Structure 1
Amino acid sequence: MSQSVRTIVVGVASVDDTDPVLPPCVALARELGATLHVAHALDRPGEEPRERLEARVRALAGGVPTVCHVVEGAATDHLPELAQELGADLLVVGATRRSRIRRWFLGTTAEGVVRRATVPVLVQRGALAREARRVLLTTDLSGVSPGVHEQGVDLVEALAGERFPDLRTLLVVQDAAAALLPRAALERLAQQELDGFVRARRPRERAIQPKVRVGCVADEILAEAAEWRPELLVVGSHGRAGHRPLLGSVAGATLRGAACNVLVVPPGAGERPAGGEADAALPLVSVA
């Protein structure tokens, strides 16, 4: 295994027993032998909320090393800062807003955390990645793509249970590129490029299946996810402003529209795209 998960930070919306994100995170930390940091942000933190959170975590932990953090201010600021300070391997937040038709949507807190985080963020909508049978990764073949893709697969390997999931890497060719070449030629060229990208990655326990689609990037990612039905979707937060990653428009739309768990991987140091801008212009494709 190329990476281990030793430190997990989870943000909870409640200090009581109403937040569904906490129990699966405790179970995940137990299975991985990781330390779990449970964080809750309040306008005015005090001893009572901390004691209630500690009691809740203690009742669930059952020997799992845990640390509780109750902080003053916005979760969108404090969760990413805490994860960075701790050198966390994973930050977990829940997608906590629902529509009238009972479909999960991305809450403002979860999106704000993803925008500011410098460590991988798992936005939880269902069972955690350890139970995943299928994982859909995305790439745009940009300069940050190799590092983001490798780290994403590393985390999938670290989180996988006894059955390693099927992996598929998706490349979406933008609509505009279809005007430059016949569709069949465009798909063939994109498939060749993606095949080469996948071959250049480190060997894994299971071969990664490359897949090409043509169309609106976010729409095609969501369509592929709806058809193939992965339990986990992996995207990159594309670009940086200073030392802070930016959430690209395609990644943001994918994150908000996905029905499954989403793992958002920030670009690593030294892998920023030219100019450091989000959604940098690419000749054929753009994913995150």
Structure 2
Amino acid sequence: MNRPIRKLVAGVATLQPDDPALAAALALSGRTGAELHLVHVDAAETIPGMAVSLSRTGALRGVVESVAPGVTGTGRVVCRALSGDPEKRLRETSAASGADLLVVGATRRGPLARAVLGTTATHLLRTMRIPMLVARGPLPERPLRVLMTTDLSHHAARAHGRGLALARALCGGAAPEMRSLYVQTPCMADGPMPLPLPPSGIGERDLLEFLDAESPGAAITPRVRGGDPASEIVHEAREWEADLLVMGTHGRRGAARVFLGSVAESVLSHAPCAVLVIPPLSAELAEVPSGSAWELAGPPAWAV
């Protein structure tokens, strides 16, 4: 069986030992055995796209060694400093390396989180072609609490299967505790006021049918909430004390660009835990490198 995560790319923003993407990526690489490309991008450099000074690359390597002594000598971790636009450089590095996952950090919390996530992470959310993990530090070593999200659509089914496989890989050998959340939203009337939520039993039945079809036999607890999707997803993650939240994007443009409109961007800004975002299938297939596991063995079951 092919490993879901063979190569990681991580955007190291701060060149500090506590950079959330650095800490998370090193831990995940060690947990999964994946090859890791650590990239620091200096947007102030005057020659975009060129490798910056050896001193900056050396600084990145020094920070990495301070966190995980000896790891840069294993041949599994590559450090690289670049200049130019961070979003573009991370996308280019991910494509060139054939990465299975991009890791970026939420470097601030609270009122400032929206400002940070309004730049590189949110731009990547709109354009990414591979799954992206927005980390707030290393994932716990204990069995993770993984909160899957779905709107029961065709796109959500693709994201659910891919997210399930990646979440299990991120957990290493420990089996995660899993929930799948479906948020029922009020129906819109012709006037300004929404209609009441549909009966809760309908949503529970639909979610159970979805899980039976997409994840037969998987130990996933169904959960239904009613209200605003972004708010309810964040509330559920906080109340359950989730370690990882998994959601998919639709790959649309305009107001319907992401899962349930702009839900993904709002959740990224307010989630209390790491968020794994899954792009639409068409975007992922566009990035399959020549000679990859997909090309040699065919797409996994979730892509069929």
TM class by smaller structure? 0.7 to 0.9
- Tell me what 1:48 maps to: 55
How much has 1:46 moved relative to structure 2?
Answer: 2.1
| Partner AA of 1:217 in structure 2 | P
Matched, 1:209 2:234: no
- Tell me what 1:148 maps to: 159
Structure 1: tracts of 5 or more residues without a match: 273-288
How much has 1:30 moved relative to structure 2?
Answer: 1.9
- Tell me what 2:201 maps to: 188
What does residue range 250-261 of structure 1 map to in structure 2 within 5 Å? 250-261=263-274
> Residue 128 of structure 2 is aligned with which of 100, 106, 117?
117
TM-score, structure 1 as length reference: 0.81
Is the contact made by 1:191 and 1:212 (CA closer than 8 Å) also made in structure 2? yes
> Residue 180 of structure 2 is aligned with which of 146, 165, 169?
169
- Tell me what 1:5 maps to: 5
Q: Percent identity?
A: 39
Partners of 1:81 and 1:270 in 2: CA distance: 15
Matched, 1:73 2:77: no
Secondary structure, aligned partner of 1:9:
strand
How much has 1:16 moved relative to structure 2?
Answer: 5.1
What does residue range 8-87 of structure 1 map to in structure 2 within 5 Å? 8-15=8-15, 17=17, 19-42=19-42, 43-44=44-45, 45-58=52-65, 60=68, 61-62=70-71, 63=74, 65-87=76-98
Is the contact made by 1:36 and 1:64 (CA closer than 8 Å) also made in structure 2? no
Secondary structure, aligned partner of 1:92:
strand
What does residue range 259-270 of structure 1 map to in structure 2 within 5 Å? 259-269=272-282
Is the contact made by 1:77 and 1:116 (CA closer than 8 Å) also made in structure 2? no
Matched, 1:88 2:95: no
Is the contact made by 2:101 and 2:131 (CA closer than 8 Å) also made in structure 1? yes
Is the contact made by 1:36 and 1:67 (CA closer than 8 Å) also made in structure 2? yes
Q: Indicate the RMSD between aligned Cα atoms, in angstroms.
A: 2.9
Partners of 1:160 and 1:255 in 2: CA distance: 21
How much has 1:202 moved relative to structure 2?
Answer: 3.6
How much has 1:138 moved relative to structure 2?
Answer: 0.6
Partners of 1:169 and 1:64 in 2: CA distance: 38
- Tell me what 2:297 maps to: none
Is the contact made by 2:11 and 2:103 (CA closer than 8 Å) also made in structure 1? yes
Answer with 166-175 or 12-21: which moved more.
12-21
How much has 1:213 moved relative to structure 2?
Answer: 1.3
Is the contact made by 1:11 and 1:79 (CA closer than 8 Å) also made in structure 2? yes
Partners of 1:24 and 1:147 in 2: CA distance: 25
- Tell me what 1:133 maps to: 144
Superposed CA offset, 1:198-239 (max 9, x none): 0012445x5111111111111111121122111111111222
TM-score, structure 2 as length reference: 0.77
Structure 2: tracts of 5 or more residues without a match: 46-51, 286-304
- Tell me what 1:278 maps to: none
Partners of 2:155 and 2:229 in 1: CA distance: 18
Secondary structure, aligned partner of 1:175:
coil
How much has 1:140 moved relative to structure 2?
Answer: 0.8
How much has 1:269 moved relative to structure 2?
Answer: 1.6
Secondary structure, aligned partner of 2:281:
coil
